Amino acid sequence: MKLWQKNTTSKKEVEHFTVGRDPEFDILLAPYDVLGSMAHAAMLNSIGLLTGEENEILQKGLKEIYEEIKQGKFVIEAGVEDVHSQVELVLTRRFGAVGKKLHSGRSRNDQVLVDLKLFYRDAIRELFDEASSLAEQLIQLAETYKEDLMPGYTHTQLAMPSSFGLWFASFAEGLSEDLSLLQVAFELSNKNPLGSAAGYGSSFPLDRTITTRLLGFPDMHHNVLNAQNSRGKTERTIAFALAGMAGTLNKLSSDVVLFCNQHFGFISFPDELTTGSSIMPHKKNPDVFELIRAKTNQIQSLPGTIGQLLGNLTSGYHRDMQLLKEEIFPGLESLRSCLQMSNFMLKSIQIRKNILEDPFYIHLFSVEAVNELVLKGVPFRDAYKQIGEDIEANRFVPNQKIVVHSHEGSIGNLSLNEIRAKLKLACSKFDFEGIDRAVKILIDLK
């Protein structure tokens, strides 16, 4: 069954090629297709295209389908093109001709669009929950280990004293900044496209404000062509948000893999969180973080891939956009699992104490020694030269107790309260409660 089918059918080769992987992704859109249809039916009733009785029948039928989806009983039958066709088919089977009236005033284009917007809203919410939880844990770890020093590196060479508190807090603040980028993607996903039809509106007197309110959107894409053009733009914006967060996790996982190496030995994890070797009994491999590193590299390629898919497309809908789901849907799930596993693993991280007491790290304190001389009145360039000559002559013996960093964000003043406030502010910009209220009211409609 196809919503557009007349008396001619496509050849099976064409049908197979054009449908592609849509069925596996369409099943994920099923609950959102039903919600969009419920709002659309209520709107059609309000403008007189459905009677009150017809609307009640459709609302009842759509709620039944919604529950079947939640219970895992809904399937897209063989020969049915997509989730939209399946929902309409079920309604028509169960309730007759009224099921055929539901599509009045909309195109499959804006139907797909509203499904995607609703899906993206929820997917972003899952990322938000995982990312904010991970950021909170990183802040707690920073507080716990703020006194424990570790080497800092530039060019992967020993640089200056750092601390585990500074290391953990850097990723907490990074995630708070990533959430700000994710909020931009959320805002673009949280606009109603329903009523734009194929991108050129409808001669029916649609009331788009009603569907906007019922679906919990704070705003709509007012221009109907812009609503259609938002497909692709939304995915590209989401891709940049995913890539930004993936970049933060990629650096974290790369550090973890390096710091677990026996030549560093700064951190470790319980045996049950690592994997072994088939021939080397001593091995404790950080496979989880190696896979996070690889997956986040895949995610960081998304903006480029999506940009290529969207290149040279004119205004309006193009079938090219179908392939966006094949990139974005797995990307959303992959990032969610990376955030979840990072959180899970870091709950059991073990750090090594007193690392910098090893004479191997003596040169980390050269900057501290230079600054100590400057504080005593020696010009910086002279102090730098003096300490450099001491190092070259192998007579550098620093006072390791002179590590005193007091400015904001340094190892002696991690600014954790400020980072918490930044995280709280970023989180406050996501209005999930308003969505929940609207969807509850929609489901309770009669």
List pLDDT tens digits, range 218-251: 999 999 999 999 999 999 999 999 999 999 999 9
Specify the pLDDT at position 7: 52
Q: So what's the pLDDT on residue 10?
A: 59
The reported pLDDT for the residue numbered 4 is 46
CA distance 243 to 240: 5
Residue 8 has pLDDT above 80, yes or no: no
What pLDDT, in 10s, does the model give residues 133-157?
Answer: 999 999 999 999 999 999 999 999 9
**Does pLDDT of 56 surpass 50?**
yes
Mean pLDDT of 62-83: 93
Which range is least confidently modeled, 6-10, 61-65, 127-131?
6-10
Which segments of 311-374 are extended strands (E)?
350-351
408/416 Cα distance (integer angstroms): 10
pLDDT of residue 9: 60
Fold of 12-101: Fumarase C; Chain B, domain 1 (1.10.275)
Structure-model confidence comparison of residues 401 and 165, the more confident one? 165
CB 128 within 8 A of CB 175: no
Q: How confident is the model over 335-377, as pLDDT tens digits?
A: 999 999 999 999 999 999 999 999 999 999 999 999 999 999 9
Read off the pLDDT band of 5 (50, 70, 90): low
Q: Above 80 in pLDDT, residue 34? A: yes
The winner for highest mean pLDDT among 9-13, 14-18, 73-77 is 73-77
Reported as a pLDDT band with limits 50, 70 and 90, residue 18 is confident
pTM over 0.85, yes/no: yes
Confidence of residue 44 (pLDDT cuts 50, 70, 90): very high
Q: Which two tokens stand for residue 192?
A: 């109603």
Per-residue model confidence (pLDDT) at position 396: 92
* Residue 264: per-residue pLDDT: 95
Domain definitions of the chain by residue range: 12-101, 117-146+163-203+222-356+416-432, 358-402
Question: What percentage of the chain carries pLDDT values higher than 90?
Answer: 87
Among 27-31, 206-210, 266-270, 405-409, whose mean pLDDT is lowest? Answer: 405-409
Mean pLDDT of 294-314: 96
Q: What is the pLDDT of residues 280-299, one digit of tens each?
A: 878 889 999 999 999 999 99
Dist CA 42 CA 80 (whole Å): 26
Residue with tokens 């991108």: 199
Q: For residues 137 and 6, which has the higher predicted lDDT (pLDDT)?
A: 137
The pLDDT-based confidence of 2 (bands split at 50, 70, 90) is: low
CATH number for 117-146+163-203+222-356+416-432 (one of 2.40.160.40, 1.10.3720.10, 1.20.200.10, 3.30.70.100): it is: 1.20.200.10
Q: How far apart are CA 71 and CA 62, in angstroms?
A: 14
Burial class of residue 103 in the structure, from the number of CB atoms within 10 Å of its CB (0-12 exposed, 13-18 middle, 19+ buried): middle
Average pLDDT over residues 205-227: 97
No. of helices (H) and no. of strands (E), the chain: 16, 6
Q: What DSSP element (H or E) covers 175? A: helix 164-189
Whether 117 shows a pLDDT value over 90: the answer reads: yes
Give the span between the Cα atoms of 306 and 294, in whole angstroms: 19
Report yes or no: 55 and 95 within 8 Å, Cβ to Cβ: no
Average pLDDT over residues 375-395: 95
Look over the chain and give the mean of its residue pLDDT values, rounded to a whole number: 93
Residue 431 has pLDDT above 70, yes or no: yes
Give me the residues paired with residue 158 across strands: 153
- Least confident span in 8-22, 85-99, 173-187, 390-404: 8-22
